[in-house]
Amino acid sequence: MTRTVLFDEVGGPEVLRVVDVPVADPGPGEVLVRVEAIGLNRAEALFRSGGYYYPATLPNSRLGSEAAGVVEAVGPGVTDHRPGDTVSVLAVSGSMSDRGVYAERIVVSANDLLHRPAEVDAVTGAAVWLSYLTAYGALVEVGRMAPGDHVLITAASSAAGVAAIQMANHVGAVPIAVTRTDAKRDRLLAAGAAHVLTTAEGDLPERVRELTDGQGARLVFDPVAGPGLAELATTVARGGMLIVYGWLDTRPAPLPLNWPLHIVGYGLNLLLEDEGQRRRGEAFINAGLRAGTLAPIVDRTFDLVDIVEAHRYLEANNQLGKIVVTVQH
Ligand X SMILES: NC(=O)c1ccc[n+]([C@@H]2O[C@H](COP(=O)([O-])OP(=O)(O)OC[C@H]3O[C@@H](n4cnc5c(N)ncnc54)[C@H](OP(=O)(O)O)[C@@H]3O)[C@@H](O)[C@H]2O)c1
Rounded alpha-carbon distances, angstroms, from residue 275 to 58, 68, 163, 278:
33, 22, 22, 5
Residue 43 found at the interface with ligand X (CB under 6 A): yes
CB of 51 to ligand X, least distance (A): 10
Element (H, E) at 125: helix 122-127
Nearest residue (CB) to ligand X, 106 versus 162? 162
Pick the binder of ligand X from 47, 102, 136, 266 (CB under 6 A).
266
Residue 274 found at the interface with ligand X (CB under 6 A): no
CB of 199 to ligand X, least distance (A): 7
Pick the binder of ligand X from 136, 245, 284, 302 (CB under 6 A).
245
Cβ–Cβ < 8 Å for 69, 37: yes
With a CB cutoff of 8 Å and minimum separation 6, the contacts of 291 are none
From 79-87, 230-238, 263-271, 288-296, give the range in contact with ligand X by CB under 6 A.
Answer: 263-271
Torsion of CA 43, 49, 54, 56, to 10 degrees: 110
Residue 317 found at the interface with ligand X (CB under 6 A): yes
CB of 31 to ligand X, least distance (A): 23
b/e string for 80-113 if b means 16 or more Cβ within 10 A?
ebeeebbbbbbbbeeebbebbbbbbbbbbbbebb
Which residues within the stretch 205-244 sit at the binding site for ligand X (CB under 6 A)?
A: 223-224
From 79-87, 94-102, 156-164, 277-285, give the range in contact with ligand X by CB under 6 A.
Answer: 156-164
CB of 161 to ligand X, least distance (A): 6
Strand partners, 66: 39, 90
Residue 75 found at the interface with ligand X (CB under 6 A): no
Long-range contacts of 76-80 (CB under 8 A, 24+ apart): 76/27, 76/28, 76/29, 77/28, 77/29, 78/26, 78/29, 78/30, 78/31, 78/110, 80/110, 80/113
- What span, in angstroms and rounded, lies between the C-alpha atoms of 105 and 12? 25
Distance of CA 229 to the CA centre of its chain: 21
141: which DSSP letter?
I
Residue 124 found at the interface with ligand X (CB under 6 A): no
Residue 134 found at the interface with ligand X (CB under 6 A): yes
Pick the binder of ligand X from 21, 81, 267, 301 (CB under 6 A).
267
Closest CA to 307 of 101, 80, 28: 101
3-state secondary structure of 68: strand
Nearest residue (CB) to ligand X, 23 versus 46? 46
CB of 174 to ligand X, least distance (A): 20
Residue 157 found at the interface with ligand X (CB under 6 A): yes
DSSP 226-245: GGGHHHHHTTEEEEEEEEE-
Closest CA to 112 of 131, 127, 93: 93
Pick the binder of ligand X from 62, 99, 170, 184 (CB under 6 A).
184
Residue 179 found at the interface with ligand X (CB under 6 A): yes
Binding-residue total with ligand X (CB under 6 A): 27
From 29-37, 111-119, 202-210, 311-319, give the range in contact with ligand X by CB under 6 A.
Answer: 311-319
From 28-36, 106-114, 176-184, 201-209, give the range in contact with ligand X by CB under 6 A.
Answer: 176-184
Residue 166 found at the interface with ligand X (CB under 6 A): no
The residue at minimum Cβ distance from ligand X is: 246
Note the residues at the interface with ligand X (CB under 6 A).
Answer: 41-43, 130-131, 134, 155, 157-160, 179-180, 184, 223-224, 245-249, 266-268, 314, 317, 319
